[in-house]
Amino acid sequence: MKKNNSRLLALLLVAGISSQLFGSDALAAEDKNVDDKVATEVEASEVTTYSGFTNEVYEDGMDYPKNEAAGRESDGTDKYNRATEVERESYGEDKNVVDIDPEVKAKLEETNGEYGKKNGKYSNNKLQEVLDPIKDIVINPGSDQSEVAITWFANQDAVSAAVVDGKSYKASGNLTDDDGGYWTYTALITGLEAGSHSYYVHTGDEVSQTYSFDVKPLGEDNEFTVAYFGDPQIGSGDSVWDKQGLNKNTQAKVDQDKVDFKKVLDRAEKADPHFYLSMGDNVEIATYEGEYDAFLNDEFYRNHIFVSIEGNHETYIGEDETNPNNKVFKDHFYLPNESADGRIVRGNNLGGVDEFPGDYWYSFGDTLFLNINSNEEDNSKHESFVENAIKEAVEKRGSNYSFIVASFHHSPYSTATHSADDDIIQRRKDLVRVFNNNNVDIVLNGHDHIYTRSKQLLAGEDVMAFEDAIGTSLDNPSIDLDENNFSKTHGIKINDNGEIITDGIALDYNKREVTDPKGTVFLTMSTSAGSKYYNPIGEDNWYVARSLDDRSQLFSILTFSKHRFNIRTMDVDGNVVDDYTINKTDENIANGRRIDPAKDKKALVDAIDLMKLKANDAVAADKLAEYKQALETAQAVLADENASQAETDGAVRVLRFRAKEIGLDLYKVVENTNKNTVVAEKSVATKEVKEEKTEDKKEAKEVKDQPSKSSNPKTGVAGLTGVVATLGAALAGLFASKRK
């Protein structure tokens, strides 16, 4: 990353931006000093080694490689040429595809392949359903570690309760959309102490078996662990599975996925986590009862606390569905502290109604978990939820949480094919700012089926050379450039200088353990069941710290304590393939995220205030709008007293980028402290430009005479009133010229 910064710095120096503005090395040195300083405050404890798990050995401070490219070069496959499921076959079979379950194989042979045939006798609405009087029992968390909720389906409307340790807790219920006429019931169990608890549920005269679950005590420094899964997607499939005769939404594929996911559950259980967390897409089609029955028909869910968020596949209705309504997710899971924000109620094209629950939150130890229904694409609603939930939770607790975690299905920063989707790009623009502003430390996602750990990310934009940002040459045909230099593979526009604007700013600490870092880390989990893998298109992207695409089932153990977060990602054999740790000091916890405001905003002031706009009738409306947005963003960064140097420098680069796109001349004015004069970056020997320069000096003096917004007199930050006035006049002139 330092090499890239140096390259950018050289380019910007040529463009006239002063080198004093870029403090990458200073920032890295400062971070090191802070880490050294807090080493005595926060003991960097060894990563917990769980029974049966192994780890690769790396030298102290050495990071994992960014991705696995070196390990797969031998097959001669161009990773950017695997952008479809069919092309993916050239790389090789998924690891679990070559290990078909014996019972599934036998059933395929017995039925001459009908067991796995698309739209056959064992598919879609003909999938095997569980018809027990009581089924699909799940234990969900309550508002904190002293509560759980037990949810189940029963085939009658009758008095229902959960009996825990001999005490009866009344359940509330409602009719589901299950074709079997099932009702869903939920009982909230409160005041639980650490230890093992036995229970059973009953509806009317029907009584379940007796099960037990553990409420694990918090460890030293309030430590607890969570098993983190991605997209089980029971019943899913693709061309690789089709070749084996296991098409999606068939009984053969459902049975195979259940067997494979059980391997991950069993391995995760060895870590004995406090609870288990799924990123949604638990099944392929939510309204095929046979798929959700297969997913939940396991004693695992009766004996462990399980949490899920809603994926896009939870919103899907089968084309041959007899009941067109869909509130499956809402019926199966209890959501503590549910908000109206994110809630969706809508009609569908089958004449039914979809009902999807809103965002919800719970706490555990010193960590606050925010769970977002990202099927709602109006991100302002999620912003409202995040702000209100944190406020409510902190007021209830009486102090800040050490860590804040946001979980939702659609990953903003992944490395597979979804990363170029329009809705994903919009989430990058909207949600990173929300998370930064609200001190969200960690974001957990799924959706894109390749494991990715991002760098620490800030909201905003920056400019990078395409090859540095994406990791491949512009000559690579797989980036799929159109006539406007837009890459359809990556969803980005490339300018004539081979540069792009990034959706965010990456802080590369270049280590696997950091203390009080700025920004938010984003984690995307691959499909833990191995039901369907996606193809990499951006494993070398600018925001990537670690990306894994070896077609193996992965999951993570997350460890939280008052002062520490750690993620250990591993496969079903227990091989650890990634780990990352964030330490926090008491000061940081008390005050929120570490604030490191920019030390010099002068270049940003100059770029905004001393921009010379020359009318250009050929400017396209969309380019003009993008430029206007860049100006507004630059103003916001300038006004933000807590904006970092990285955000400030990025705003300068983006402003220059947008100006070039619409053919405007940017004059960089540099203050000569010895002569106390202002000289132009470019020498233009025309009377018109000389007059403009004279006027510039006058405007600059007016701005200089206004009160500064900066608390540091060395920054040279001009008053925003003058900046706004200048921008307003400039834009008005440009738009007026455009109308002519």
Residue 361 and residue 141 in contact, taking contact as beta carbons nearer than 8 Å: no
β-strands 486-487, 456-465: how paired? Answer: unpaired
Q: Return the pLDDT at 95.
A: 67
Q: What is the DSSP string of 581-645?
A: EEE--HHHHHH-SPP-B-S--HHHHHHHHT-B----TT--HHHHHHHHHHHHHHHHHHH-TT-BH
Q: What is the 3-state secondary structure (H, E, C) of 381-392?
A: HHHHHHHHHHHH
Q: Is the pLDDT of residue 27 over 70?
A: no
How many Å apart are CA 245 and CA 262, to the nearest integer?
21
Q: Which of 414-418, 431-435, 694-698 reaches the highest mean pLDDT?
A: 431-435
Of 28-37, 263-272, 283-292, 560-569, the one with minimum mean pLDDT is 28-37
pLDDT in tens, 206-237: 999 999 999 999 999 999 999 999 999 999 98
The mean per-residue pLDDT over the stretch 570-575 comes to 92
Q: Return the pLDDT at 69.
A: 63
Residue 251 and residue 123 in contact, taking contact as beta carbons nearer than 8 Å: yes
* Cα 83–chain centre separation: 21
In our burial notation (b when 16+ CB lie closer than 10 A, e otherwise), range 57-92 reads: eeeeeeebeebbeeebeeeeeebbbbbebeebeebe
pLDDT in tens, 633-682: 899 899 988 888 898 999 999 988 888 877 775 543 333 323 333 333 33
Residue 148 and residue 164 in contact, taking contact as beta carbons nearer than 8 Å: no
Secondary structure letter of residue 458 according to DSSP: E
Band (pLDDT 50/70/90 cuts) for residue 581 is very high
Percent of the chain whose predicted confidence (pLDDT) is above 90: 56
CA distances from 639 to 107, 460, 573, 651 (A): 67, 14, 52, 12
Q: Is the pLDDT of residue 90 over 50?
A: no
Q: Return the pLDDT at 665.
A: 55
Band (pLDDT 50/70/90 cuts) for residue 67 is confident
Output the average pLDDT for the chain. Answer: 80
Q: Is the pLDDT of residue 711 over 60?
A: no
Q: Return the pLDDT at 3.
A: 38
Q: Which of 413-427, 438-452, 535-549, 595-609 reaches the highest mean pLDDT?
A: 438-452
* Cα 610–chain centre separation: 38
How many Å apart are CA 249 and CA 448, to the nearest integer?
20
Q: What angle in degrees, to the nearest 10, is found between the helix axes of 289-296 and 251-269? A: 30
Band (pLDDT 50/70/90 cuts) for residue 55 is very low
Band (pLDDT 50/70/90 cuts) for residue 255 is very high
Residue 518 and residue 596 in contact, taking contact as beta carbons nearer than 8 Å: yes
The mean per-residue pLDDT over the stretch 409-415 comes to 95
Band (pLDDT 50/70/90 cuts) for residue 432 is very high
pLDDT in tens, 388-404: 999 999 999 999 999 99
- Which carries the bigger pLDDT value, residue 350 or residue 63? 350
Q: Is the pLDDT of residue 162 over 90?
A: yes
Q: Is the pLDDT of residue 702 over 80?
A: no
Q: What's the one-letter identity of residue 113?
A: G
Q: What angle in degrees, to the nearest 10, is found between the helix axes of 251-269 and 102-110? A: 170
Q: Where are the beta strands (DSSP E) in 50-126?
A: 54-55
Q: Is the pLDDT of residue 158 over 90?
A: yes
Surface-to-core class of residue 208, CB atoms within 10 Å of its CB (0-12 exposed, 13-18 middle, 19+ buried): buried
pLDDT in tens, 485-506: 999 888 899 988 899 999 999 9
Of 24-33, 145-154, 472-481, 530-539, the one with minimum mean pLDDT is 24-33
Q: What is the DSSP string of 249-274?
A: TBHHHHHHHHHHHHHHHHHHHTT--S
Residue 519 and residue 460 in contact, taking contact as beta carbons nearer than 8 Å: no
The mean per-residue pLDDT over the stretch 578-592 comes to 93
Surface-to-core class of residue 469, CB atoms within 10 Å of its CB (0-12 exposed, 13-18 middle, 19+ buried): buried
Surface-to-core class of residue 673, CB atoms within 10 Å of its CB (0-12 exposed, 13-18 middle, 19+ buried): exposed
Percent of the chain whose predicted confidence (pLDDT) is above 70: 75
β-strands 224-229, 554-560: how paired? Answer: antiparallel
Helix (H) or strand (E) holding 354: strand 353-356
Residue 201 and residue 152 in contact, taking contact as beta carbons nearer than 8 Å: yes
Q: Is the pLDDT of residue 471 over 90?
A: no
How many Å apart are CA 228 and CA 613, to the nearest integer?
52
Q: Is the pLDDT of residue 2 over 50?
A: no
Of 13-27, 295-309, 552-566, 693-707, the one with minimum mean pLDDT is 13-27
Q: What angle in degrees, to the nearest 10, is found between the helix axes of 621-639 and 602-609? A: 140
Q: Is the pLDDT of residue 611 over 80?
A: no
Q: Is the pLDDT of residue 35 over 50?
A: no
Q: Is the pLDDT of residue 627 over 90?
A: no
- How many helices, marked H, and strands, marked E, lie in the chain? 19, 32
Q: Is the pLDDT of residue 712 over 70?
A: no
Handedness of CA 61, 64, 66, 72 (dihedral sign): positive
Q: Is the pLDDT of residue 167 over 80?
A: yes
Q: Phi first, then psi: what are they for 250, rounded to 5°?
A: -115, 160
Q: CA-based angle 455:456:460, to the nearest 5?
A: 105
Q: CA-based angle 506:422:240, to the nearest 5?
A: 95
Residue 548 and residue 488 in contact, taking contact as beta carbons nearer than 8 Å: no
- Which carries the bigger pLDDT value, residue 30 or residue 227? 227
Q: Is the pLDDT of residue 379 over 80?
A: yes
Closest to 315 measured CA to CA, from 282, 277, 361: 282
- Tokens for 697? 């000096």
Band (pLDDT 50/70/90 cuts) for residue 267 is very high
Q: Return the pLDDT at 63.
A: 64
